Amino acid sequence: MITTPITSDAFRETVQQLVDEYRKQHASNPMAPAPVVPSLGPAFTTLHPSDAVPSMIALVSPWADVASPDPLIAHVSQQVVTLEVAYAAFCGLSTVILPPLFRKGHTPTSSAVAIYSDMVSRTLGIGPYLQIVVPFPMDNQKLATEEVPPALQAEDEIDSPGRKTDIDDALTPWDSWNHVRVTCDYAAKLAVGRSHNSHSFHDRSPVGTAY
Amino acid sequence: MTVPQLVLLTDVHQALVIPRLLPDDHLQSRWYSEPLRILFLPTSSFATNSNSHPVLSKAHQAMLTKYMRLQQAPWLLLSGPSELPQPNSDAVGSADPTPAEAAALPAQPYPQVARLAYLRYLQRTQPSLPPLARFAHGYQDFLQSPLQPLTDNLESITYEVFEKDPIKYAWYEQAVALALKDLYEELKRPIVVAVVGAGRGPLMTRSLMASSATEIPIVPYAVEKNQNAYVLLQRQNATNPLWAGNVQVVKTDMRTWIGPLDAEGNPAKVDILVSELLGSFADNELSPECLDGVQHHLDPSHGVSIPQSYTAWTSPISSPRIYADLFHRPADPDKWSLPYVTMLHQFSFLSHTEEILPPTSAGLISFSSSIQQCWEFLHPLPPSVIAQSALRKQGGAIAPGLCGGDGWNEHNSRSCNLVFPIKPNNRGVCHGLAAYFETVLYRSRDGSQVVELSTNPNTMDEKSKDMISWFPIFFPLKTPLLVPDNGEVRVDMHRKTDDRKVWYTWQVSTWVEIGGKWQRTAMSEVHCSAQNGCLM
């Protein structure tokens, strides 16, 4: 089996542009509605239904951070995830790996975990035959450089409104996983993708081989 | 202690310097109990050996072995540069050769990419499964309703499966031999041995073998209520040279057996009562009730029961797999109110003791699981207990049973309240109680030898290694309870009876110390299996 991204770099660039433009507009027009991501087209994806599909695992764009402290990034990321999962389901892929909750540097806050869980539970409803794999590190060790997922350009480091005194130890990733699966009612289609001490993502064309 | 599996090539220093608060075996066990579909193995997971080949550490390998033994083993996802084998572009004339062109191409295997080749090598060289794991492979976490051999007659195939156990019958033979030696020394006459609940006869055979090995004569009886198995017992008596027609085969419920008769036809007493009426939770197939009913035939001064005692054990566990299985079954008010016999596999113990176990081959350390005794049954009972039971059965001017009935079986009711400590950094979620049993078949009179069976993971290897007859049993919780660090899980269990049936109740709560005082922070409902109680 082999992993495949669902969208291309062009899509990411388009989304990044959308975000940047909105930021410029927002400065002068605070009432402007948040941007809406365009639906996928041939420029944005090379994935299509084919005989190769049964041996593929779809990788939802790892730069889609639905629990980002930057509300704009979170907003577009939600749309990106929904679009991509729906398209992967349409193409007939059976397994989809969602973007990670645990990203570079910080441990997600409890509200981030809740937002992420909500996203996961929605993706379960998108494709009736789709298995959803949620990546988690085994513990709270720092990620190696190759494992840090890419991210959309956020506006300055927004301080996440979290309680600094929440426990943050080796079991914290497990805690977050527990929250996700309880939110999804222990769904049979939901499973963990676990890295031994970190997770791995690449935003280029198929490089993962699963067997 | 350093933990070798945390080898990120860039982070070796960090892994060595920072000691782990939680022994990694517990953390691994926690993740092992979760539904894992993919295991990521990026380049940084691999080390390089002296031949510059990528390899995984011993700890990594041990973890992989464990995961590959799951019924649904996870996929291993390799990532990093140049993982895909590329065809040799010189030899391929066109991207889409015709069959004739393809036939002309030199046959060439794709060069195996190093990490993939290594993983395939690991796959080929996996250690073989131990006997219990091999036997139970298809049964991992598969829930079965417990047998009720008292109410239902077992099929021959069920007996046949049990008879495959390599250890149990050998242990019974040893126990009978020890008992024969002890009794013969005192009595100096043929020993009356009655196998009650004889089934297809394996215990009778073993008792006869013990008799011939010790050269102590016995007067054998085989009592069985299952009219179908009774046919086989008669056959055995006729055809098995060891039985040689000497066994007195009786078709009756042991509780209404008229008992042995001596040579003159007068009632006699049994010297050794052999039975195997144990379920995965010791008494859940009503062994106490059955043996009580036949005890009056046992000689009151020297009579021996094999088993002499049995105990039930339990421990709170996290088993998302079983919980998800039950949760997604069609709505049935009783599905949470029933213990299930199951080969517990993808689960994790929540409570541990202070005893540190020897490190695994991968160098991981862990504490032993806290599995505690619920209750015990002894046989034979003191005569005074039997006498009081008989009195209560008459239903005279005395208090009736607590749960109904006259209370003549109330001496077999039990209860326990157990406290399971949760270590720091070991919080989790409790989906139910794992339960096991142990039994002393026979302890010699001088106490020097004891024959025991155990399914308790803490003692099974020492007492009866490779025994396959019993799987653990699981008491589910309808709503999982979050269990905090440094907290306690307190379990309240009862064995109840109303003289007509026997059932269990279980309730779990979590407690935490706040400001120096312990407080209850969560509790389950009381689960009660009365609707599916064991009929006496």
Q: How far is A174 from chain B (nearest CA, A)?
A: 7
Question: What confidence tens digit (pLDDT) does each residue in B443-499 have?
Answer: 999 999 999 999 999 999 999 988 888 999 999 999 999 999 999 999 999 999 999
The answer to whether residues B367 and B357 touch, using CB atoms and an 8 Å cutoff, is yes
* Cα gap B510→B498, rounded to integer Å: 30
The helix or strand, by DSSP H or E, that contains position B116, with its residue range, turns out to be helix B114-124
The pLDDT of residue B149 is 79
- Which range among A166-170, B205-209, B302-306, B340-344 shows the weakest confidence by mean pLDDT? A166-170
Nearest residue of A to residue B483 by CA position?
A175
CA-wise closest residue to B484 among B353, B365, B367, B351: B351
CA-wise closest residue to B147 among B20, B40, B277, B45: B277
Of the partner residues A195, A196, A209, the one whose CB lies closest to the CB of residue B83: A209
CA-wise closest residue to A107 among A192, A178, A164, A190: A164
Structural tokens at position B135: 């036997």
Average pLDDT over chain B reads: 87
Percent of chain A exceeding pLDDT 90 equals 57
Q: How far is B80 from chain A (nearest CA, A)?
A: 7
Percent of chain B exceeding pLDDT 70 equals 90
Q: Is 50 exceeded by the pLDDT of residue A88? A: yes
CA-wise closest residue to B184 among B157, B219, B223: B219
Q: Do A169 and B21 touch (CB under 8 A)?
A: yes
The answer to whether residues B371 and B71 touch, using CB atoms and an 8 Å cutoff, is no
Of the partner residues A146, A171, A193, the one whose CB lies closest to the CB of residue B80: A146
* Mean per-residue pLDDT, B497-508: 96
Q: In A, which residues are within 8 Å of B5 by CB distance?
A: 196-197
Q: Do B5 and A97 touch (CB under 8 A)?
A: no
Active-site annotation holder among B34, B173, B264, B285: B285
* Cα gap A211→B528, rounded to integer Å: 45
Q: In A, which residues are within 8 Å of B480 by CB distance?
A: 182
Q: Is B7 helix (H, G, I), strand (E, B) or coil?
A: coil
Which one of B10, B14, B37, B512 makes the best mutation probe of the A interface by having the most chain A beta carbons within 10 Å? B37
Compute the C-alpha angle B363/B365/B367, nearest 5°: 160
Question: What confidence tens digit (pLDDT) does each residue in A40-75 have?
Answer: 989 999 999 999 999 999 999 999 999 988 889 999
Q: In B, which residues are within 8 Å of A207 by CB distance?
A: 79-81, 83-84
Sign of CA dihedral B337, B341, B344, B348: positive
* Cα gap B431→B336, rounded to integer Å: 11
Active-site annotation holder among B173, B224, B276, B410: B276
The helix or strand, by DSSP H or E, that contains position A120, with its residue range, turns out to be helix A110-126
**What are the CA-CA distances from residue A68 to residues A5, A38, A104, B498, B506 (Å)?**
21, 20, 12, 60, 43
Compute the C-alpha angle A6/B119/B125, nearest 5°: 150
Active site residue B276: yes
The pLDDT of residue B133 is 80
Question: What confidence tens digit (pLDDT) does each residue in A171-205 have?
Answer: 899 999 999 999 999 999 999 998 875 332 222 22
Question: What confidence tens digit (pLDDT) does each residue in B352-390 have?
Answer: 999 988 877 666 778 999 999 999 999 999 999 999 999
The pLDDT of residue B63 is 83
- CA dihedral of B113, B119, B125, B126, whole degrees rounded to 10: -170
φ/ψ (deg, to 5) at A54: -60, -20
Q: Is 90 exceeded by the pLDDT of residue A36? A: yes
Q: Do A194 and B31 touch (CB under 8 A)?
A: yes
The pLDDT of residue B241 is 95
The answer to whether residues B430 and B439 touch, using CB atoms and an 8 Å cutoff, is no
* Cα gap A104→B319, rounded to integer Å: 31
Q: Do A141 and B11 touch (CB under 8 A)?
A: yes
The pLDDT of residue B19 is 30
Structural tokens at position B105: 């191409």
* Cα gap A19→A147, rounded to integer Å: 25
Q: Do B37 and A147 touch (CB under 8 A)?
A: no
Helix locations, B287-330, DSSP H: 287-294, 320-327
Question: What confidence tens digit (pLDDT) does each residue in B13-52 have?
Answer: 332 322 333 457 788 889 999 999 998 887 777 878 887 7
φ/ψ (deg, to 5) at B182: -60, -45
Compute the C-alpha angle A117/A185/B320, nearest 5°: 105
Q: Is 90 exceeded by the pLDDT of residue A168? A: no
* Mean per-residue pLDDT, B225-252: 94
Q: Do B39 and A208 touch (CB under 8 A)?
A: no
Of the partner residues B35, B425, B485, the one whose CB lies closest to the CB of residue A191: B35
pLDDT confidence tier of residue B213, bands split at 50, 70 and 90: very high
The pLDDT of residue A105 is 66
Which one of B40, B58, B60 makes the best mutation probe of the A interface by having the most chain A beta carbons within 10 Å? B40
The answer to whether residues B510 and B489 touch, using CB atoms and an 8 Å cutoff, is yes
Per the document, the length of chain B is: 536
Structural tokens at position A109: 């806050």
Long-range contacts of the stretch A46-53 (C-beta < 8 A, 24+): A46/A8, A47/A4, A47/A5, A47/A6, A47/A87, A47/A88, A47/A91, A48/A91, A49/A90, A49/A91, A49/A92, A53/A91, A53/A92, A53/A93
Question: What confidence tens digit (pLDDT) does each residue in B402-458 have?
Answer: 999 999 999 999 999 999 999 988 999 999 999 999 999 999 999 999 999 999 999
Range 82-141 of A in CB contact (< 8 A) with B: 95, 97, 131, 133, 135, 138-139, 141
The pLDDT of residue A114 is 96
A190 in B contact zone (CB under 8 Å): yes
The helix or strand, by DSSP H or E, that contains position B54, with its residue range, turns out to be strand B54-55
Q: In B, which residues are within 8 Å of A2 by CB distance?
A: 84
* Cα gap B526→B534, rounded to integer Å: 18
* Cα gap B484→B429, rounded to integer Å: 8
Q: How far is A93 from chain B (nearest CA, A)?
A: 15
The pLDDT of residue B482 is 96
The pLDDT of residue B81 is 65
Which is higher by pLDDT, B83 or A150?
A150
CA-wise closest residue to A133 among A67, A198, A199, A192: A192
Structural tokens at position B224: 């069985």
pLDDT confidence tier of residue B88, bands split at 50, 70 and 90: low
* Cα gap B3→A203, rounded to integer Å: 31
CA-wise closest residue to B432 among B502, B529, B513: B529
Percent of chain B exceeding pLDDT 90 equals 64
The answer to whether residues B160 and B185 touch, using CB atoms and an 8 Å cutoff, is no
- Which range among A193-207, B306-320, B325-339 shows the weakest confidence by mean pLDDT? A193-207
The answer to whether residues B62 and B361 touch, using CB atoms and an 8 Å cutoff, is yes
Per the document, the length of chain A is: 211
Q: How far is B399 from chain A (nearest CA, A)?
A: 48
Q: How far is A146 from chain B (nearest CA, A)?
A: 8
* Cα gap B133→B68, rounded to integer Å: 13
Nearest residue of A to residue B79 by CA position?
A208
* Cα gap B500→B184, rounded to integer Å: 39
- CA dihedral of B95, B99, B103, B109, whole degrees rounded to 10: 50
Q: Do A193 and B27 touch (CB under 8 A)?
A: no
